[in-house]
Amino acid sequence: LTVARRHGGGARSRTVPALVLPVDAALPLLVAARHHPAAHPATAAWGAAALHALHLAARGRMLPGLTADDLDAWRAGPLDADDIAHLRAVAAALPFEGHAVPVPGRGP
């Protein structure tokens, strides 16, 4: 997997090992990583995001929709003030490594 990594005052692309898992296998690992002492902070933050998504789904806070390519997609909603505050807190806690996939056709 090619990711963008901090390098001095900028960033560089780097290839790192990755494990591709189906959602049903990844969710328990991500949720458990939230409190695992050896988990990378980005992994723990994505675990918190995954748990929040599960809570939204369990409460029926999912709406059907379509992508720009007319594919079926689900999105979170409707969200109440607590949902929005929690989502913003999780997003704010995500370290830069959690956003580390470069945009195709652009430098890191």
**C-alpha–C-alpha distance, residues 61 and 93, integer Å:** 23
Q: Count structural domains, the chain.
A: 1
**Residue 91: inside a domain:** yes
Structure-model confidence comparison of residues 84 and 16, the more confident one: 84
**Residue 26: inside a domain:** yes
The pTM for the full model equals: 0.75
**Residue 1: inside a domain:** no
**Residue 7: inside a domain:** no
pLDDT at 99: 76
Q: What is the mean pLDDT of residues 34-42?
A: 92
**Residue 100: inside a domain:** no
pLDDT at 72: 94
Q: Looking at the predicted structure, is the pLDDT value of residue 36 above 70?
A: yes
Which domain does 59 fall in, by range?
Answer: 21-95
Q: Looking at the predicted structure, is the pLDDT value of residue 1 above 90?
A: no
Strands, E assignment, the chain: 2-7, 10-15, 62-66, 72-76
**Residue 25: inside a domain:** yes
pLDDT in tens, 43-54: 999 999 999 999
**Residue 15: inside a domain:** no
